[in-house]
Structure 1
Amino acid sequence: MDQCYAKTMEEKKPYIAMIIVQIIFAGMAVVSKAAFNGGMNTFVFTFYRQAIATLVLLPLAIIFERRSSPPLPFKLMFKIFMVALFGYTINLNMHNIAIKLTSATVTSATSNLIPIFTFVLALLFRVEIITFKTCSGIVKAIGVVICLTGAMVIAFYKGPHLNSFIHHHPILHGSSQNDSNITHKKWIIGTFLMVLAAFCWSSWLVLLGIILKEYPSWIWSTVLLNLFSTIQCFIVAITTERNLNKWKLHWDEELLGVVYGGVLVSALVLYLQTWCIHKRGPVFVAMFSPLALLIAAAASSFLLGEVINLGSVLGGAFMVVGLYCVLWGKSRERKNMNSSVEDAKDSISIESRGCIVK
């Protein structure tokens, strides 16, 4: 009984970890939006959160993994450097600019494209296939189209505002006024930057899965990704923002956003995601993205007084439906594959018994 319970809990750990990840992601969209509304430079913000994550994780890696970590050849280190550049430095900077130009709800809605992009990349690398002769293949293709339609709805259709039932917003910092000044052109640019960031994140999930096969220490992988990203983000930030006053942190939502992003997102979330990729693979990690949409929409309305548009809700709903069409198709294919394997085993067993009787 105890062994069965322990096995059940062990199987549930990745699910619990990914639920925690999505809650933290939703909170990150809210606090970073508040920091940007307060006037913080997005590039400086990204550098600080990566630097804090490195300072948190590096001592832990040295204490717990200094003797058991495998050797790191230069070629593999260069691969990790490039994964950090593509999956963190470029991705996070585009992501933060997009948050500033749109809203926390849009940020979480477009994150639903991550599983779809992961699936498309798997198709390109021939890891996944779509067979239009089967029901599951058709549903997967329809799901991809529905998700992309959702992204288009968010970008080009704002629609009427949805009224919030709550009128007191604890960390409101000019959010409603800021959102009203966002032009339609900026909204479109921000949405497509968020789509590109989702593609970068999907690529990062796939590439990190490859890296972990070569370098299975996910603690040191996490540290190195943050360390390289910190250096890269500093170069970007110092190049784009020379005013030292913009680098000063104050005891307000700016410091909250940096510490939250550095400790919880870039450190804890990256560690949990890396562990889950190691245990279950990149597609498992990507499939939890829709959860952040519901949390972020509620939190941004309550905490920031952010105006939620009908277009964002409809687009997010399209993405969730499309995502789970793809996941249903994959699940159906897996069941068919398992039943085929069982049938093959049964036929082999029957044939072998026939041979014994003869």
Structure 2
Amino acid sequence: MTAMKTASGSSANLFQNLKPYVFIILLQFGYAGMYVITTATLKNGMNHYVLVVYRNLVAAAIIAPFALWFERKNRSKITPLIFFKIVALAMLEVVLDQNFYYMGAKLTNASFSAAFYNILPAMTFMLAILLRMEKINIRRRRSQAKVIGTAITLVGAILMILYKGPVVEFFWTVGRAQHHPAAAAAAAASQGGTMTWLKGTSMLFVSCISWSLFFILQSNTLESFPSELTLTTLICGIGALLSATVAFVMERGNVKPWIIGLDMRLFTAVYSGIVCSGVAYCVQGIVMKERGPVFVTAFNPLCMIVTAIMGSIIFAEEISRGRVIGAVIIVIGLYFLIWGKSNDHLASKKEVTDQLPVAMAATNGTKPGCTVSPTTHIEIPAVTNP
């Protein structure tokens, strides 16, 4: 019986330790699907302002019932400061990040836009250090691993952006690229639009900065408003209203872009809303409260690899040697960064364990005129990873 309890406890602990990794890895596959289908939909003429509005309306409508039901008893109070943070989150992620990403992806392609986002972990890490949300002790190996991993990841991302090299042929792309319409359009764009490509890259950079700031602010907001479902609903709802205002101004009241049918445009809005806004914000919030924003963004390079493979198979997008070499370098950097973050988490748990005997000794210590009941309970607060 004791052996069964021990096995059950160890299995539960194993699941608890693996849960953040499983959630974030699955989320990267969801983002990869979004990168591919939205790029194709935008190149086929869908208005990106309208897509942002529909995406977040879908997300708010899907998550709101769950927020009302599961958080009805323990929902945190919305103070003016928290409301201001929620509006700022909606502006950063929904209005700025999504619109600039869609414009950049439309001017480049799915695999390049996903590859460019590999600078996200390094950018988030540097911002977290500046805002003192991430602690660095350069004498410790785990801190050294995080710094080295961030630097390697950044080098790999820059290599992918600056160095193209010859096209790498895979067995599923032999003979397809020159006949595939999407690949032909991409080749024509790359030959005649260097300025267009640079413009798209600059838009992706603005999008990346906005998303990184969103992660930082989301982590901070969850400390005082730990209701992930309600927070997600409010971000998407307010973001949809702000984006609708931007869309009406930019389109000058033209209603034609808003009309969509039962086609790829509707599927893109629903998929992006459910998976990449509704589910993604909730999952990121859950993992972020335990491991911090740097851990969440550290897995972003995995999305690039999945997107490149999917884009190559579905749309015959070319994969150059530079992107393959850069991907290998990024994976190495990712390993260092995750190793450092994992050891941070173990160290924080060890600090809690080490504090327990000290706290008990301090409570049970005898002083003249003081009596302590032997049934005194001591509650040790959880330590959140910086």
Q: Please, what TM-score do these two structures have when normalized by structure 1?
A: 0.84
Q: How does 1:224-263 map to 2 (within 5 A)?
A: 224-242=234-252, 243-263=254-274
Alpha carbons 1:141, 1:326 under 8 Å: kept: yes
Note the C-alpha offset of 1:339: 9.2
Name the CA distance, whole Å, in 1 between partners of 2:279 and 2:234.
14
RMSD: 3.1
1:278 alignment counterpart: 289
For each residue in 1:1-45, what CA deviation from the matched residue of structure 2 results, as whole angstroms up to 9, or x when unmatched? Answer: 323323332333222211211110111111111101211122211
1:321 alignment counterpart: 332
1:61 alignment counterpart: 67
Code of the aligned partner of 1:146: I
Which is worse superposed, 284-293 or 60-69? 60-69
Identity %: 31
Name the CA distance, whole Å, in 2 between partners of 1:150 and 1:195.
16
Note the C-alpha offset of 1:132: 5.8
Q: How does 1:1-358 map to 2 (within 5 A)?
A: 1=5, 2-128=8-134, 140-166=146-172, 174-180=181-187, 181-182=189-190, 183-242=193-252, 243-329=254-340
Greater gyration radius: 2
Note the C-alpha offset of 1:126: 3.1
Q: 1:342 to 1:262 in 2, by over 3 A?
A: closer
Code of the aligned partner of 1:286: T
Name the CA distance, whole Å, in 2 between partners of 1:80 and 1:342.
35
Higher relative contact order (CA 8 A, sep 6+): 1
Code of the aligned partner of 1:34: A
Q: 1:322 to 1:191 in 2, by over 3 A?
A: farther
For each residue in 1:72-117, what CA deviation from the matched residue of structure 2 results, as whole angstroms up to 9, or x when unmatched? Answer: 1222111111122113321111111121122221222223222211
Code of the aligned partner of 1:147: T
Note the C-alpha offset of 1:229: 0.9
Q: 1:247 to 1:311 in 2, by over 3 A?
A: farther
Name the CA distance, whole Å, in 1 between partners of 2:157 and 2:339.
21
Name the CA distance, whole Å, in 2 between partners of 1:343 and 1:226.
42
Code of the aligned partner of 2:261: H
Name the CA distance, whole Å, in 2 between partners of 1:6 and 1:143.
30
Code of the aligned partner of 1:148: L
Code of the aligned partner of 2:76: P
Name the CA distance, whole Å, in 2 between partners of 1:142 and 1:15.
21
Structure 2, unpaired ranges of 5+: 358-386
Q: 1:311 to 1:341 in 2, by over 3 A?
A: same
Note the C-alpha offset of 1:304: 1.6
3-state SS in 2 of match to 1:87: helix
Alpha carbons 2:164, 2:322 under 8 Å: kept: yes
Name the CA distance, whole Å, in 1 between partners of 2:241 and 2:355.
54
Note the C-alpha offset of 1:135: 6.3
Code of the aligned partner of 1:211: T
Code of the aligned partner of 2:55: R
3-state SS in 2 of match to 1:40: coil
Which is worse superposed, 217-226 or 93-102? 93-102
Structure 1, unpaired ranges of 5+: 347-358
Alpha carbons 2:39, 2:105 under 8 Å: kept: yes
Note the C-alpha offset of 1:250: 3.3
Alpha carbons 2:52, 2:94 under 8 Å: kept: no
* Aligned length, in residue pairs: 344
